[in-house]
């Protein structure tokens, strides 16, 4: 397929994007605490499930871990300066719960709060709007030792933690999401075990998901109490539209089932106060322990939905014995002719972003939406100079920004877009082998080099700002 048609940072964007994005649109980049901070044993930080998981042989690529990562904890002012250089007017980062409450509950570690306090002030001084994620997967290990997300008390502990953070930052930060991708926490953490805490039990993943959703709902009133009137409260979900690879009725039924387990599992309780019909039966599990009022709490209205989207799912009903999961009766189709795949093996399919945004708007009508993650890993090469050429990422970003423009043009109230990621970082079970940054990180020296895609994105934002998109 013709992948690369622009290797220069110079910008060319279709005319229709002109004026599709309002002047106050948030153009940002995203990161997460464990993936960039390092300083794992400093300033009173407690351990998280990811410290333990990464230390377990065989769990992370080449036994890598987040002890140093991109050393952002020590280089934070330099990284904020980079954001300015790129012209970002927004930055999404997550707070490490174990820095704030090293044991998960109880004693507050002020030095942890001080770090994020300084970060917020530096961002605001440069006109960059902070968007805070309270939980991007680094659960305090002490809570995991009491069963983590399988324990309902963890939801209450999360609400207490949310209050501690908003009491400190709520006077300056307006954009908050409770959880990042609870689907990943529940499914990868408790069903496949590919992520921390590495449990492999389908039933457990449905229990964990319920407690994660409850944590989100319980935290909302605490966030509301300690933030300004202008605060925008939400949650970030990873949403992947599911498409049928053929038109057999069994494939169409499989598409519905797959949509339920990958998207509606979280969308329905948050926006409709119900789990989708048949969700538990399809998975062959018992319903999680849902107490009276839980679903009302979970459905507490939010101001915006954070959507993370990278690709699509293309599936077909299984015909024979083979396939990736006989329980579900369908399989994912890979190796689509003419398609491009990223280093993660994810198909580049920009239409998915338009489709998922239009669908969420139509079916769930959140008051506003922010695309809180979108981006691509490619095998970037650095030759020691001041440049990193990454034409495939430029192509990816350009096509996805067009797709975003299409969604807005169709009336979807999208208010922000955050590239994943600002920096190359610790990509969970893939360690440092996958680079998602628009800024290259040379790990041995921690030198940062803005990739061509970073320059391209900066030019795109500048052109938007001038409203001079050619």
Report the interface residues with ligand FCB, using CB under 6 A: 32, 35, 180-181, 184, 238, 308, 373, 420, 427-428, 436
Give least dist CB 30 to ligand FCB, A: 8
Phi and psi (nearest 5°) for 381? Answer: -115, 135
Give least dist CB 373 to ligand FCB, A: 6
Phi-psi region of 270 (alpha: psi -120 to 50; beta: other; left: phi over 0): alpha
Rg (CA), the chain: 21
Give least dist CB 375 to ligand FCB, A: 7
Which among 130, 135, 126, 103 has a CA at the least distance from the CA of 117?
A: 130
Q: Given the DSSP bridges, would you call strands 447-450 and 304-308 parallel, antiparallel or unpaired? A: unpaired
Residue 21 or 428: which CB sits closer to ligand FCB?
428
Catalytic pick among 181, 331, 347, 427: 181
Residue 111 has a CB neighbour count (10 Å cut-off) of 13
Give least dist CB 133 to ligand FCB, A: 9
Residue 71 or 427: which CB sits closer to ligand FCB?
427
Cα–Cα distance measured from residue 462 to residue 272, given in angstroms and rounded to the nearest whole number: 39
Give least dist CB 377 to ligand FCB, A: 7
Residue 180 or 313: which CB sits closer to ligand FCB?
180
Residue 204 or 372: which CB sits closer to ligand FCB?
372
Buried b (16+ CB within 10 A) or exposed e, 414-440: bbbbbbbbbbbbbbbbbbbebbbbbbb
Residue 20 or 188: which CB sits closer to ligand FCB?
188
Cα–Cα distance measured from residue 178 to residue 297, given in angstroms and rounded to the nearest whole number: 14
Query: Is-catalytic flag, 181?
Result: yes
Q: Given the DSSP bridges, would you call strands 313-317 and 330-332 parallel, antiparallel or unpaired? A: antiparallel
Strand order from edge to edge, sheet including 242-244? 242-244, 313-317, 330-332
Cα–Cα distance measured from residue 401 to residue 296, given in angstroms and rounded to the nearest whole number: 36
> Can you read off the two tokens belonging to residue 106?
């109880």
Give least dist CB 343 to ligand FCB, A: 11
Catalytic pick among 64, 331, 373, 427: 373
> Can you read off the two tokens belonging to residue 433?
């082998």
Q: Given the DSSP bridges, would you call strands 414-420 and 439-442 parallel, antiparallel or unpaired? A: unpaired
Bridge partners of residue 447, in order along the sequence: 442
Cβ within 8 Å of residue 249, ≥6 positions away:
none
Helix (H) or strand (E) holding 163: helix 153-169
Residue 11 or 270: which CB sits closer to ligand FCB?
270
Q: What is the DSSP string of 322-333?
A: -SS-TTTTEEE-
Residue 354 or 421: which CB sits closer to ligand FCB?
421
The answer to whether the CB of 45 falls within 8 A of the CB of 33 is no
Cα 359 to chain centroid, rounded: 19
Give least dist CB 124 to ligand FCB, A: 24
Residue 185 or 227: which CB sits closer to ligand FCB?
185
The answer to whether the CB of 420 falls within 8 A of the CB of 437 is no
Give least dist CB 37 to ligand FCB, A: 13
Give least dist CB 92 to ligand FCB, A: 10
Residue 224 has a CB neighbour count (10 Å cut-off) of 16
Residue 31 or 129: which CB sits closer to ligand FCB?
31
Q: Which residues are catalytic?
A: 181, 373
């Amino acid at each position: 397929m013709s992948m690369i048609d622009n290797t220069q940072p110079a910008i060319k964007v279709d005319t229709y994007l002109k004026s599709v994005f309002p002047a106050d649109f948030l153009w940002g980049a995203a990161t997460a605490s464990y993936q960039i901070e390092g300083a794992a044993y400093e300033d009173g930080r407690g351990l998280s499930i990811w410290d333990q998981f990464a230390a377990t042989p065989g769990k992370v690529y080449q036994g890598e871990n987040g002890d140093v990562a991109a050393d952002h904890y020590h280089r934070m002012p330099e990284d904020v300066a980079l954001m300015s250089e790129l012209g970002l007017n927004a930055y999404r980062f997550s707070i490490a719960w174990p820095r704030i409450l090293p044991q998960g509950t109880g004693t507050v570690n002020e030095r942890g709060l001080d770090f994020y306090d300084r970060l917020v002030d530096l961002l605001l001084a440069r006109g960059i709007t902070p968007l805070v994620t309270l939980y991007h997967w680094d659960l305090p290990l002490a809570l995991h030792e009491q069963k983590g997300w399988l324990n309902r008390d963890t939801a209450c502990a999360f609400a207490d933690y949310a209050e501690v953070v908003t009491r400190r930052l709520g006077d300056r930060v307006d954009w908050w999401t409770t959880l990042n991708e609870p689907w990943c926490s529940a499914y990868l953490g408790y069903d496949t075990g590919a992520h921390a805490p590495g449990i492999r039990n389908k039933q457990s993943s449905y229990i964990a998901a319920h407690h994660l959703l409850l944590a989100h709902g319980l935290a909302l009133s605490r966030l509301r109490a300690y933030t300004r009137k202008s605060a925008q409260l939400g949650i970030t979900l990873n949403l992947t539209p599911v498409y049928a690879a053929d038109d057999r009725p069994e494939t169409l039924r499989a598409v519905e089932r797959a949509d339920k387990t990958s998207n509606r599992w979280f969308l329905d309780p948050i926006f409709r106060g119900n789990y989708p019909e048949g969700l538990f039966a399809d998975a062959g599990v018992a319903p999680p322990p849902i107490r009276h009022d839980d679903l009302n709490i979970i459905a507490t209205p939010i101001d915006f939905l954070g959507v993370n989207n990278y690709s699509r799912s293309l599936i077909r009903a299984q015909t024979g014995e083979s396939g990736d999961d006989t329980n579900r009766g369908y399989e994912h189709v890979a190796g689509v002719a003419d398609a491009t795949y990223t280093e993660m093996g994810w198909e580049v399919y920009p239409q998915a972003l338009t489709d998922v945004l239009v669908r969420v708007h139509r079916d769930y009508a959140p008051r506003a939406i922010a695309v809180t993650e979108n981006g691509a890993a490619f095998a970037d090469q650095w030759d020691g100079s001041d440049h990193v050429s990454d034409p495939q990422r430029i192509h990816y970003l350009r096509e996805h920004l067009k797709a975003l423009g299409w969604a807005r043009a169709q009336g979807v109230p999208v208010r922000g877009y955050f590239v994943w990621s600002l920096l190359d970082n610790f990509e969970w079970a893939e360690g440092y082998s996958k680079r998602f940054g628009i800024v290259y990180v040379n790990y041995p020296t921690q030198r940062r080099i803005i990739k061509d895609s970073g320059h391209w994105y900066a030019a795109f934002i500048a052109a938007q700002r001038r409203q001079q998109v050619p």
